[in-house]
A and B are shown apart, each in its own frame.
Chain A
Amino acid sequence: MTETEKKQDFTDRIWDFFCSLKLTIILLLLLAVTSIIGTIIPQNSSAAEYIRLYGQSNYELFTRLQFTEMYSSTWFVALLALFCVNLICCSIKHFPRTWKFFKEPAHIATPGLLKNSSNKLEISTEESPEVVVDRVKDTLDKHFTKTVRSDANGKIYLFAQKGIYSRLGSYMTHLSIIVILVGAIIGNVFGFRAYVTIPEGGSVTHVITRDGSRNIDLGFEVRCDNFDVKFYPNTRRPMEYASDLVVLREGVEVYEKRIVVNDPLFFDGIIFYQSSYGPAGDAIITFNVTDNQNGEIREFSAPLNNRVQLPDGFSAIVTDYTDDDRNFGPAMRLHVINPEGVRQNPIVVWQNFPEFDVRRGDKFSFAMLGFKQPYFTGLQVAKDPGVNIVWAGCILLIIGPFIAFFMSHKRIWACIEQDGNATKVQLAGNAHRNQPGFALAFDDLMQKVELAIKNQSPTKEG
């Protein structure tokens, strides 16, 4: 063996390795099995957490094997890359053969095909070849699809095919995987994912990415004017929550939207998703104070544990509140502080029963008007310039396997020749998938062809 032959042999073997379907199956299985690791070992946790769960030595092993962030580990990404190379090589290897069906359709059936096909028909008839050809052609045109006629070797050949595009289904599927991965890479490199909280009335111009690595300037300002949460009746389970967001550029309001879960705000390629919420500081409680000596009523609003000044040197402080006290509805607890600075016994006031506190008969009586809990809204912020590429890939991934599994390339050939005084007609057909289904359709079609050749119209029943 010469040096170049050896080299040729070596590159051939490399090529065969990357084209091999065994490699495809092994890679699919490897990707499946290794993916399990990341569902058992928590991902992207702190070192302390891993050491607590698995001990120091296991933790070191995990970091060396990159098990703590395995889906972005070198070896997992390498497996994915190898998988892509395999897909591409397989497609390159097999595509020329598929392309031949498009470029050079087999218009002329070989004798072998006519003889050995599992779907075939052979008839002899007294009619002249030209008449027979027309009859067969008409039947196929009408009940199958347009036929192509070619004359060769003193015989007349007919050819018809359907669903040739189904041969592209597997290529489409393979392409879809590559497209999705390309979209994912673009999203990872040029996009970001962040989380930000904005208290009602507050605004942000920067967000910090979820992994904490980057502080991103949005290029505009986002303000949360208001946050609302609606609960299911008689529960604390949120039914829906919403934030009124306003986008400002150089202080000017340019866009606003009320976002809810599953309905985000899009602006300038950046998307804000309603994700969570929480209390921002203490509630502000509003209540009326009646001075029972002169009947004068004054309204106060104060945060929890903040003293409010009442007439004649008295003051009051709300120390607790609830939205439901023993099924009596919202209530608050307050203390009156006398001019000497002594805090008196607590008083409970229910919002739904404002007349109750009057009966106490003290200098002041209180009526609760309501409370407002200020919230912050929690937003996922994402920019993903690759996401539409991913969706394009997904559409291919839906169409590709569908075509590959459920459609087939069906071909029918006919050969008509003079055979002594008679005319010999041979027909054959095949499908590259779902042969049993095709066999039935072929038999049905052949009955029609036979009747047409004998110049009988199919007997109509029913």
Chain B
Amino acid sequence: MEPVKLLFALTTVSYLVAGVLYLTAMIGKREGAGQLGRWVLLVGIVIHAGVFAVRHTMVLGTPVTSLHESLSFFAWCLVLLFLLLDLRFRLSVMGAFAAPVATGLMMFSAFSPDVVVPLNPVLRSWLFPLHISFAFLGNAAFALSFGAGVMYLIQDRMLKSKRFNRLYRMLPSIDVLDRVNYTCLSVGFPFMTLGIISGAAWANLAWGSYWSWDPKETWALITWLLYAALLHGRLTVGWRGRRAAFFSTVAFMFLLFSFLGVSLLFDGYHTFEVFSMP
């Protein structure tokens, strides 16, 4: 097996193992498993960084241009952001969401065409790694807020119907979930803003226009506007709980579309390299 494929497989296995540990921690209420999961994730993220380091030498630039690489980079950012948030919240349950999602992204990535494409000259810019890091860290934060939102809705439903099964006791209280949901939003929004602005600065350097209503730009703006509406709802109108959780799941659907749908369906600067090849 090529070294880069081996590292990729090791990363996927680490995320998978961490996911199993976190789920054990959640279902079996074993905090020790969660702590072990955290270390396994940390090992995984370091190996994963190695994958990108190797690919960097293969394409002589930032190796995030194909669907394969984008999904894998998304997984990396998700794990990184989860580990950072974990410093503050120590919630194994969020790990039971983040680690399996990261594993899924890695598997999805493994099945996408993996072609090493030399970088188009526009992509040979120091703004490229900056732009994607901001954008994907934003995506990762919103993914976590989506996870907390979904858990909130589940808890809320059980509270309303007064049916308390085992799942109810596994998930954190709705207050904690609401707080995690907000924290992730408040982290994701500045990252997304930075992602859009760094993209605009780069477009201005490459083409002389910072905004050209390219489908990806427009969809990023659409998602940004939705999250801005949600944050205004939360901070000033006093949306809390169910409405905010529901809105953050809807906004995340738009975000998913602007990440995957736009690159796969529309022509523009962000069409994945592999699919635009003749």
Chain A residues with CB under 8 Å of chain B are: 21-22, 24-25, 28-29, 31-33, 35-36, 38-39, 43, 71, 184, 193, 232, 235, 237-241, 260-264, 271, 273, 275, 380-382, 384, 387, 390-391, 394, 397-398, 401-402, 404-406, 436
Contact = CB atoms under 8 A, between A and B. Distances in A.
The secondary structure that dominates the A interface is: helix
Nearest to A383: B208
A28 B225 contact: yes
Contact of B179 (A193, A264, A275, A436): A436
**Interface-central residue, A32, A398, A401, A406, by most chain B CB under 10 Å:** A32
Give the 7 A-B CB pairs with smallest separation, nearest first: A382-B208, A28-B229, A32-B225, A405-B186, A261-B121, A232-B118, A262-B125
A36 B222 contact: yes
Given A21-B237, A29-B225, A261-B122, A397 B208 contact: no
B88 to A, nearest CB: 9
27 contacts: A21-B232, A21-B237, A24-B229, A32-B222, A32-B254, A33-B222, A39-B215, A39-B218, A39-B219, A39-B262, A193-B208, A235-B118, A238-B121, A240-B121, A240-B124, A261-B121, A262-B125, A264-B208, A273-B206, A275-B207, A387-B204, A394-B197, A394-B200, A398-B190, A398-B193, A402-B190, A436-B179
Given A25-B229, A28-B232, A71-B213, A261 B190 contact: no
A241 B189 CA distance: 37
B168 interface: no
A192 to B, nearest CB: 10
B173 interface: no
A67 B131 CA distance: 30
A271 B121 CA distance: 19
B55 to A, nearest CB: 16
Contacts of A241: 121
Given A43-B213, A401-B190, A405-B186, A261 B229 contact: no
B265 to A, nearest CB: 9
Contact of B218 (A25, A35, A380, A394): A35
Contacts of B124: 239-240, 261-262
B207 A239 contact: no
A264 B210 contact: no
B211 interface: yes
Interface in B76-134: 117-122, 124-125, 127
B208 A401 contact: no
Contacts of B229: 24-25, 28-29, 32
Contact of A38 (B208, B211, B218): B218
B118 A239 contact: yes
A22 B206 contact: no
- Most chain B beta-carbon neighbours within 10 Å: one of A237, A262, A406: A262
Contacts of B222: 32-33, 35-36
B199 to A, nearest CB: 11
Contacts of A404: 235
B50 interface: no
